[in-house]
Structure 1
Amino acid sequence: MEIKMFYRTQRDLATALNQLVDAYWKEEITEHKLIIGLKDIYKNNHEKLLKNNDFTKVIQQQCGKRRLIIVRKVLDIN
């Protein structure tokens, strides 16, 4: 699975997060690749992912609670 490092919009970012987590759930990628992918995406796109220490509304609506629980745990976001 190929992941870009920089995303233009929050919707593009949400789609990438969905694809990454879904690939992990389908066992297409390993846990290690999931963690590395999420950390790389966060490092380069944190301003599109978080606002006031919570996920932006677009990210919440596009990704859903179950995916964001995993993202939150991997990135250790309170």
Structure 2
Amino acid sequence: MELKLFYRTQRELAADLNKLIDFYWEEKVNEPELIKGIKDLYENNNEKLLKGNQFTKIVQQHCGKRRLTVVEKILEIK
């Protein structure tokens, strides 16, 4: 799966984050690819993903709790 390095909006970031996690759940992407993808998204777009120590409201609304739980565990947030 191809991911951009830099996203223009939080909505674009959330959409690709959803795709990546859904592909993992559908077994189209393996665990190392999922972990690398999420870490890359965070490193290059952390201001769009997190505000303070919480996910931004737009990301929360678009991704949902189940997906964000996966992201939290990979990034070791909280």
| TM-score category (smaller protein) | over 0.9
Unaligned runs of 5+ in 1: none
Runs of 4+ in 1 over 6 A off after TM superposition: none
Query: Which aligned pairs between 1:23-38 and structure 2 lie closer than 5 A?
Result: 23-38=23-38
Aligned amino acid, residue 6 of structure 1:
F
Map residues 23-62 of structure 1 onto 2, 5 A cutoff: 23-62=23-62
Question: 2:11: which partner in 1?
Answer: 11
Unmatched runs of 5 consecutive residues or more in structure 2: none
Identical aligned pairs, as a percentage? 62
Q: How many angstroms apart in 2 are the aligned matches of 1:57 and 1:51? A: 9
Opposite residue 8 of structure 2, the aligned amino acid is R
TM-score by length of 1: 0.99
Q: In structure 2, how many angstroms separate the alpha carbons of the residues matched to 1:2 and 1:44?
A: 15
Across the aligned residues of Structure 1 and Structure 2, the Cα RMSD in angstroms comes to 0.4
Q: How many pairs are equivalent?
A: 78
- Corresponding residue SS for 1:68: helix
Post-superposition shift, 1:56? 0.3
| 1:64 partner SS | helix
What is aligned with 1:76?
A: 76
Shift in Å, 1:75 = 0.6
